A and B are shown apart, each in its own frame.
Chain A
Amino acid sequence: MVHSDVCSPLKENSFSGAAYFVTFIDDHSRKLWAYSLKTKNEVLEKFKQFQVMVERQTRKKLKCIRSDNGGEYHGPFDEYCEQQGIKHEKTPPKIPQLNGLAKRMNTTIIERVRCMLNEAKLPKRFWGEALITVVHVINLSPAVALDDNVPDNVWFGKNISYDHLRVFGCKAFVHVPNDERFKLDMKTKQCIFIGYGQDKHGYKLYDPVNKKLMRSRDVIFLEFYQTIEDIEKMEKDESKQSGDLVNRDPVQLDNEHAEDHPDAPIDDVGNDSHEILVDSSIPLKRSTRERQPSTRYPSDEYVTLTDEGKPGCFEKAMDSQQKEKLVNVMQDEMQSLHDNQTFDLVKLPKGKRALQNMWIYRLKHEGNSSSLRYKARLVVKGFRQKKGIDYDEIFSPVVKMSSIRTILSLTASLDLEIENMDVKTAFLYGDLE
């Protein structure tokens, strides 16, 4: 069962010249398809396309379509349904409520397209691209009618991925293939992201300079605060800048040109100088990039990494300039292991294997001062341990949050004091069995 409706004229033609669109919604999965139309007469043609595609993909037959009583669903459309044996449910005139699912969906689509175009500051003629993106996103969004399941999940019968989603209308750098550029050309082109390639292969992008649509898979996205307006503004700034430079110092550019390409004809100085200028603007472009700190490592480790770094293993420590300090702290650690009577030396019993261990080094900031302290710790490679041989049970209870809250609230209401303490190298106190 499929619900269908045509959306009224949009006044502004899309790139392909379309002014309407027709939607089909599968009643079971709530998956949505939308086709843009130049005229309403194309509904039947698109419906045929849709029907063939759906029936081939699912190996099931389309049985029933519900539409309003619009003119586009009369005549040939009716005849075709009759021939194919498809039940065509038409709502009585003037009661669009009976086609509510499709009507409501069209409203949703239009609202989203409007928002996305506005947010991306794109002209209205991009509505066709926005429409496709909206449909894609709706099919990936939980639907109330499905108990918050996702249409594409139901339709394809498997979990879908969200990794490819990007902010509509954001700035993107597209890699220019080797064969389409010369040595000194920029390797990337600034574009606007305007949708997903069909069947999820690659992205669709709009090149505002050459006013072209393109598809690519090799794209880097800048998803925040970058829209077509920013790019156009920057283009203007750039051309102004390059103009200044050309006027100021043509001779120097000429020299550079001669050095770089002894073979090249002198005639295209203009072109060439332009290229050089584009290259000189690379740092400018880089500076606009939004930098985000890595969320993978805590900030203190991040600091130590950039702070001349800590050695990653014993050999590197012995090679590094801080060797002396590191040997010292390792001796401290060994001493405390001895004091603690952590192990004694024995011959390896036959048929047993010895666990590996490694040194871990840390750079620690001492309180508020900027001085750094090195730390070394001997750790066992626990991942080599085998259950039943090297250990049995590993579960350790951890205090409940509610206990902490109870104690804190007791302290507060009885006006008591709390003392807290830290057990240093707590794990080293454990006895091995």
Chain B
Amino acid sequence: MEQPEGFQVKGKEDYVCRLKKSLYGFKQAPRQWYKKFEFVMGEQGYMKTTLDPCVFVK
């Protein structure tokens, strides 16, 4: 991604941002959020229900 307007690092104007985390506006942003949420819930011992992947049960 290009460097944010107004916050270019001096001397590195031609550098770009290699993204590790999601940002608003990405097409895949909602999906990446869901993956994260799913992972964290799994860590906490919650199980997805088969009928609704958005309901987690412990």
- Alpha-carbon gap, A83 to B43, bound state (A): 90
Stretch at the interface among A17-25, A164-172, A270-278, A423-431: A423-431
User: By the criterion CB–CB under 8 Å, are A359 and B4 in contact?
Assistant: yes
CB neighbours (8 Å) of A341 from chain B are: 20-21
CB neighbours (8 Å) of A7 from chain B are: none
In the complex, chain B residues 2-50 whose Cβ is within 8 Å of any chain A Cβ: 2-7, 9, 12, 14-37
Q: A177 CB to closest chain B CB, in angstroms?
A: 48
Q: A276 CB to closest chain B CB, in angstroms?
A: 54
User: By the criterion CB–CB under 8 Å, are A377 and B3 in contact?
Assistant: no
Q: Chain B interface secondary structure, helix, strand, loop or mixed?
A: loop
CB neighbours (8 Å) of B9 from chain A are: 345
| Residue A162 at the chain B interface, CB threshold 8 Å | no
Q: Which of A346, A396, A425, A426 has the most CB of B within 10 A?
A: A396
Proximity string of chain A (353-383) to chain B, C-beta cutoff 8 Å, 1 when within and 0 when not: 0111111000000000000000001111110
**A431 CB contact (under 8 Å) in B6, B25, B32:** B32
User: By the criterion CB–CB under 8 Å, are A428 and B27 in contact?
Assistant: no
User: By the criterion CB–CB under 8 Å, are B23 and A399 in contact?
Assistant: no
User: By the criterion CB–CB under 8 Å, are A431 and B22 in contact?
Assistant: yes
Q: Chain A interface secondary structure, helix, strand, loop or mixed?
A: mixed
Q: B17 CB to closest chain A CB, in angstroms?
A: 4
Stretch at the interface among A29-37, A222-230, A240-248, A385-393: A385-393
Interface size range on A against B: 35 or more
Q: Which of B1, B15, B51 has the most CB of A within 10 A?
A: B1
CB neighbours (8 Å) of A393 from chain B are: 28, 31
User: By the criterion CB–CB under 8 Å, are A357 and B54 in contact?
Assistant: no
CB neighbours (8 Å) of A427 from chain B are: 22-24, 26, 29-30, 32-33
CB neighbours (8 Å) of A355 from chain B are: 1-2
User: By the criterion CB–CB under 8 Å, are A334 and B24 in contact?
Assistant: no
Given contacts A343-B21, A380-B25, contact A314 B36 (CB under 8 A): no
- Alpha-carbon gap, A358 to B2, bound state (A): 10
CB neighbours (8 Å) of B17 from chain A are: 342-346, 354
| Residue A178 at the chain B interface, CB threshold 8 Å | no
**B54 CB contact (under 8 Å) in A327, A385, A397, A429:** A397
CB neighbours (8 Å) of A394 from chain B are: 27-28, 30-31
Q: A344 CB to closest chain B CB, in angstroms?
A: 6
- Alpha-carbon gap, A392 to B1, bound state (A): 17
In the complex, chain A residues 392-433 whose Cβ is within 8 Å of any chain B Cβ: 392-400, 402-403, 407, 425-432
Chain A residues engaging chain B, CB cutoff 8 angstroms: 314, 318, 327, 330, 334, 340-348, 354-359, 377-382, 385, 390-400, 402-403, 407, 425-432
Task: With A346-B15, A392-B28 given, name 5 new contacts (CB 8 A).
Answer: A342-B21, A345-B16, A380-B25, A430-B21, A431-B35
